[in-house]
Amino acid sequence: MGHMHIMELEQRVRERGGRMTGIRKSILEAFLVADRPLLSSDISEAVARNGTLADRTTVYRELKFLVGAGIVSEIGLVGRKRSYELLDGHRHHLVCLGCHSVRSLPFSNHLGEEEARLLRDERFRVLDHSLEFYGYCENCRQ
């Protein structure tokens, strides 16, 4: 991730009619430094480390707002608790079937071109896509 900035996210929250509360900012900052999708428990821990007081219900309510506002994406991968990540336009994951770790995958070849082809050839307008690769990470293969 890392190519988004907190100011950008604050603006997105305000554009969607939200206020930038301390808890909201703390949650978004947790996403900005994460290199993988986060479980709600990861988010609660990060918020607590930032010194913001919030119970699990509050964190859950905030995540619901951020998902509804299209700022955060909820991922329900096979055999895994729901996790969340910032919506920055591309969601691709490496999912280990052994330890169930999930890594976000930067994808260089443009699936946007494929989406354009689908619209042209199949008359299908794609609004979003998500791509998961299932297999075994280096640790689980040893």
Q: Which of 28-37, 49-58, 106-115 has the lowest mean pLDDT?
A: 106-115
d(CA 117, CA 142): 40
Q: Which CATH superfamily is domain 90-142 in?
A: Ferric-uptake regulator, C-terminal dimerisarion domain (3.30.1490.190)
Name the segment(s) of the chain with CATH classification 1.10.10.10: 1-88
Separation CA 102–CA 81 (nearest Å): 11
Sign of CA dihedral 93, 137, 63, 43: negative
- Residue 2 reports pLDDT greater than 50: no
Residue 78 pLDDT > 70: no
- pLDDT tens digits along 20-41: 889 999 999 999 888 788 999 9
Residue 80 has pLDDT above 80, yes or no: no
Question: What does the pLDDT average to over 128-132?
Answer: 74
The three-class DSSP label of residue 50 is: coil
Query: How far apart are the C-alpha atoms of 44 and 54, rounded to whole Å?
Result: 7
The token duo for 33 is 């430094």
pLDDT band at 94 (very low <50, low <70, confident <90, very high): confident
Per residue, the 3-state secondary structure of 56-105, as one string, reads HHHHHHHHHHHHHCCCEEEECCCCCCCEEEECCCCCEEEEECCCCCEEEC
Using CA atoms, how far residue 24 sits from 35, 66, 68, 92, 99, in Å, is 19, 9, 14, 25, 30
Gap between the Cα atoms of 6 and 33, Å rounded? 11
3-state SS assignment for residue 39? strand
Q: Does residue 134 sit in helix, strand or coil?
A: strand
Report the pLDDT value the prediction gives residue 140, as an integer from 0 to 100: 95
CATH of 1-88, one of 1.10.10.10, 3.90.180.10, 1.10.1740.10, 1.20.140.10: 1.10.10.10
Report pLDDT for 1: 41
